Structure 1
Amino acid sequence: MNKELDDQLCQRYPKIFDDCRRTMCNDGWFDLLDVLCERLQFWTDHNRAPQVVVSQVKEKWGELSFYGQGGNQEQDGMITMAEGMSARICEHCGKPGTTLVSGEIYLTRCQEHAPSRGSVAAEQ
């Protein structure tokens, strides 16, 4: 993720990104991460849930992988939902996308950003 967007997440959610670790994914998932973090922090602040603290955010197998400590069952569900939604959002631009395989690499892309030799990934 570009530094400007990454910095926005760190500034908006300093308790989640306590040491401002950098996200290792593309810009297209910024809105998804922004909403996820807003909901996680809201749940902590208004429901006395444990604080979620990120240890790593990255792309893995064409989907968002959000690793953290803390939280509760409801917050774990929010994370699982966001990770699943990322398989339908282009990681470059945020438009609707599909998880593709290009060689041995998995990526989630819209038609505009899809590689010319990518094929639709089998359901996992």
Structure 2
Amino acid sequence: MLADWRTRLLHDHPALFPDLRVVATGLGPTLVSVGWPSVGEGWRALVERACARIADACAGVPAAEVAILGIEEKWGTLRLTVSTLDLCETASAAVDLAVDLAEARSLHVCETCGAPGRFSVKHGWYATVCAAHADGYLPVRSRDLDLQVTTMIVGDRTVRMARRYEVRSDRFIALEPPIDEDS
């Protein structure tokens, strides 16, 4: 039952997939969940690392409810949809960071094989692919691909922050001091 990495992921993190159940199929029993990873083998490590980070962020947090509702490719990058309920601010920020890091890293990893890849386009379809899997895809050239601008409510203030994803260290670097929009 644990032959596929996706099945092992659900088995290893049952708390993240609360709707997890065993279903009988023609090939025998299998685990299923609404959060089933619908991405290529190349993003396996990204998904596994994100799930481990999310599980670590919620470990020991009383009354925390976290559910992965989707793991998919969208517009050529990884998308993780996570529902959180009753998480403290620290755990919630750690879950958000785990999701953001995985999604940012997916711009640099071929979804098919896991080799270094480039965000590319072919006839309006986006994908992150390596040279071996490009098959007519052309790299999207933009120095802003790794830029993220976020708006957060901090207390009673709205704060906007910009950061850039750094591939080598798998982390975000703040680009400027936060902008307090309410001042």
TM-score by length of 1: 0.88
Q: Which residue of 1 aligns with 2:99?
A: 79
1:4 aligns with 2:4: yes
Question: Which amino acid in 2 is paired with 1:9?
Answer: L
* Counterparts of 1:118 and 1:34, CA distance in 2: 27
**SS state at 2:111 partner:** coil
* Runs of 5+ consecutive residues of structure 1 not aligned to the other structure: none
* Counterparts of 1:38 and 1:109, CA distance in 2: 25
Q: Which residue of 1 aligns with 2:161?
A: none
* Counterparts of 2:65 and 2:43, CA distance in 1: 22
Counting only pairs closer than 5 Å after superposition, residues 1-124 of structure 1 correspond to structure 2 as 4-19=4-19, 20-21=33-34, 22-46=36-60, 48=61, 50-70=64-84, 72-115=92-135, 117-123=136-142, 124=145
How well do the aligned residues superpose, as a CA RMSD in angstroms?
1.7
* Counterparts of 1:110 and 1:66, CA distance in 2: 22
* Runs of 5+ consecutive residues of structure 2 not aligned to the other structure: 20-32, 146-183
Aligned-residue offset at 1:122: 4.1
TM-score by length of 2: 0.61
| Identity over aligned pairs, percent | 26
Higher-RCO chain (CA-CA 8 Å, sequence separation at least 6): 1
Contact 1:101-1:118 at 8 Å conserved across structures: yes
* Structure 1 ranges of 4+ moved more than 3 A: none
Aligned-residue offset at 1:10: 0.5
Number of equivalent positions: 120
Question: Which amino acid in 2 is paired with 1:107?
Answer: A
Higher helix share: 1
Asked which structure has the greater CA Rg, the reply is: 2
Contact 1:106-1:121 at 8 Å conserved across structures: no
